[in-house]
Amino acid sequence: MIVRVVEVTRLGGWRLRLRFDDDVCGELDLREVVPFEGVFARLNDPAEFDRVEIDREWGTLRWGQDLDIAPESLYLRIAGRDPLRPAA
């Protein structure tokens, strides 16, 4: 199953509340998912982090046109299961 982020809410700091297209929702601290170094270093700036939006075509989180995060790893953190593997 391919999942898409359909709603994102900033909660302060580096915390986000996400809702996916299968209605799974939850909160996470993005620093626990992605190291804020290399291409992601700019997310250390709270003003830049707050620019998060959803790429409606792909269902990813993005910052501008050049930085995005696929939804599968976010889904795994929130739902506790890999959306690309069938349930046992």
The confidence score (pLDDT) of residue 80 equals 86
The confidence score (pLDDT) of residue 13 equals 94
Q: Specify if 53 maps to a domain.
A: yes
Q: Specify if 68 maps to a domain.
A: yes
| Domains of the chain: total | 1
Read off the pLDDT of each residue in 15-38 and give the average, rounded to a whole number.
Answer: 95
Read off the pLDDT of each residue in 26-42 and give the average, rounded to a whole number.
Answer: 95
- pLDDT greater than 80 at residue 1: no
What burial class does residue 17 get, using C-beta atoms within 10 Å of its C-beta: 0-12 exposed, 13-18 middle, 19+ buried?
middle
Please answer whether residues 7 and 18 qualify as being in contact, where contact means their C-beta atoms are separated by less than 8 angstroms: yes
Q: Specify if 71 maps to a domain.
A: yes
CATH number of the domain that residue 56 is part of: 3.30.2020.10
Q: Specify if 88 maps to a domain.
A: no
pTM, rounded to two decimals: 0.88
The confidence score (pLDDT) of residue 60 equals 96
The confidence score (pLDDT) of residue 82 equals 67
